[in-house]
Amino acid sequence: MPKIEIRGLKKRFGNNEVLKGVNLEIEEGEILVILGASGSGKSVLIKHIIGLLKPDEGSIIVKGVDITKLSEKALNEVRKSFGMVFQNSALFDSMTVYENVAFPLIEHTKLSENEVREKVREKLNILGLFDVEDKYPSELSGGMKKRVGLARAVILNPEIVLYDEPTTGLDPITTMTVNEMILDARERFNVTSIVISHDIGSAFMVADKIAFLYNGVIIAVGPPDQIRKMEDENLRKFLDTWFRKV
C-alpha cells in the first residue's frame, strides 16, 4: 500500500481551476519530487496533502486513511506524521537555533527541559550542526538555516517530510548542500520525502521518482531516467530549458 495516494483531486478558486484531477502515489521511504513551473498548482497540491485545504473532489489517503473526510481534531493527529521544510526556512528571527528547534516539542509534548535539550542537541548533531544552539538565524549561512529548518521539521520524528521549493534563490554550492541534506535525511531519519520544486537540476539529483505537474494535472511520472526520455511536448519544453544549459 502506498504511503500516500491521491485520487482525482480537483480544486477551484472562483473561476480558476487549479487542480483538475491529480492522481499520484507516493511509496514508503521514497523521495518524490513534484516538478512544475510557477503557477502550475504545486503549492495548492502540497496544502491538500497536509490537510490545509479541502478538495472540491477526490481523495487523499495517508497511511490508509482518507484525510479529506476527517474532523479537524483527527486531521491534527495525522499532521503529526508530517514535518515541513519551508522555502525560506521560516525560522523565527527573534529565537535562537535552540529555541527554534525546541518549539514543536514545547508546543506538542510534555517533556522536561532536560529532555527537550537532549532531543534538540541530538537532531542538530545528526545534521552536523555543532555549537550553534545559541546563535540567531541572522548569524547562519543559507545552508545552515536549511539544516536548522530540517532539524525543526524532524524533531517530532515524523514519517513524512515535505520540502517546499528548498533550493529557490540559493547559490550553486548551497543548492548542492541542500540536495545532499535531502538525501541524507532519508537515510538518517527513515522518512518518506516529498519535494515541491521547479529546480530541474536538483530534482534529477535527489528524486527516486519525479511527477510533472502541468496545468493542474500530473502529465508524467517515473524515475528520473524515464522522465528524461519521455516525449510529451510540454514536459520536453520544460526540461529542455535546463538541459540546454548543461
**Shortest CA distance to 42 belongs to which of 149, 128, 169, 162?**
162
pLDDT in tens, 51-91: 999 999 999 999 999 999 999 999 988 988 999 998 777 88
Fold of 86-207: Rossmann fold (3.40.50)
Q: Which three cell numbers stand for residue 202?
A: 536538483
Question: pTM value?
Answer: 0.90
Where are the domains positioned within the chain? 1-26+53-79, 86-207
Which amino acid does the sequence have at 22? V
What pLDDT does residue 242 have? 66
Give the tens place of pLDDT for each residue, 107-136: 888 999 999 999 999 999 988 888 899 999
Q: Which residues pair with 209 in a beta bridge?
A: 32
Mean pLDDT score, 139-168: 91
Interacting residues of 175 by C-beta distance below 8 A, sequence separation 6+: 167, 199, 201, 202
Q: 30: how many CB neighbours lie within 10 A of its CB?
A: 16
